[in-house]
Amino acid sequence: MKKFFFAVIISMLGCVNIQAQSMPAPEKYNELLEQVVLLDQVRAEFLVNAIMESLKENPKGYRQMMELAEKRFSDAADTLHNEGLYMTVLKHTTENYVLSGGERERQRLLLEGAKKNMIGTVAADFDYVTADSKEVHHLKDLKANHILVYFNNPDCESCEKVKQRLAENELINTLVKEKKLIVLAIYPYENQKLWKKAKYPKMMINGWNKSQQIEYAELYDLPTLPCFYLLDSDYKVLVKNEGSLNKVEAKLKELIKAQTAGPVPAP
């Protein structure tokens, strides 16, 4: 029955290579996940849940899928990064008794972290100071159509590369000049000297979370840096924990297109 259910999942995906069925489990699971993310979000979440359900009587396979999902869905730098699919796996592992008590507790804590600042919710406010002022500012002091929060660490090579790409990005620079977008670079850790000696492009606000609220109060779940949060004018999260600037740019283009299209006229 379990094999039949798994075969049904594969057939529902349609475009999965038929050879995936004869692959070793980890490779087969990876092939499935790579195809799942090509679907719309609702169907993808349904199928991920179904895959976890099909593995309940196979604890080894269940753990392999859980670990693979954590690696691929939660990592902002991974091409399969998807918070919704990651949460689907976490919910399944916490609501079922396949894992040990200790394993389920770890999954529960990961789920609590993933629930913070979910897409569609209002982002948690935080304070920051800038290099040229001692005045304390807050995220929710900023006013623009969109706010791009760039969590970064000057000691991170990838962060520096992404920072340079931000400075050279034509669309983002145009939106900043038109005052439709604010880019807020935030260093969330405690090394003030490291932050102060770092250089940031003029098109972004260079901020340091001096109070360390972000880390110690766990206001944001930041599994890897660099990562982006894109907010609307009401501070609602549109993009969460995204490591790809290309995906952020694509979302901005989508938002601009929707705004310029205007409301659909009544028939």
pLDDT at 5 > cutoff 90: no
Structural contact between residues 148 and 248, judged by C-beta atoms closer than 8 angstroms: yes
**Closest by CA position to 62, among listed 103, 120, 114:** 103
The pLDDT assigned to 266 comes to 53
Phi–psi pair at 159, nearest 5 degrees:
-60, -40
Would you state the pLDDT for residue 210?
95
What is the predicted pLDDT for the residue at 91? 97
Single out the residue of 110, 190, 178, 179 nearest to residue 153, CA to CA: 190
Query: Whole-angstrom Cα distance, residue 80 to residue 72?
Result: 6
- Provide, rounded to the nearest whole percent, the portion of the chain with pLDDT above 90: 76
Contacts of 203 (CB under 8 A, 6+ apart): 166, 167, 172, 173, 176, 183
Would you state the structure tokens that stand for residue 75, as one six-digit string? 């990592």
| pLDDT tens-digit series, residues 105-152 | 999 999 998 899 999 999 999 999 998 888 999 999 999 999 999 999
> Which domains are seen in the chain, by residue range?
2-114 (no CATH), 127-259 (3.40.30.10)
Nearest 10 degrees: Cα torsion 61, 62, 63, 65: 80
Mean pLDDT of all residues belonging to the chain: 89
| pTM beyond cutoff 0.85 | no
For 54-90, the pLDDT digits (tens) are: 899 999 999 999 999 999 998 888 899 998 999 999 9
Q: Which pLDDT belongs to residue 20? A: 44
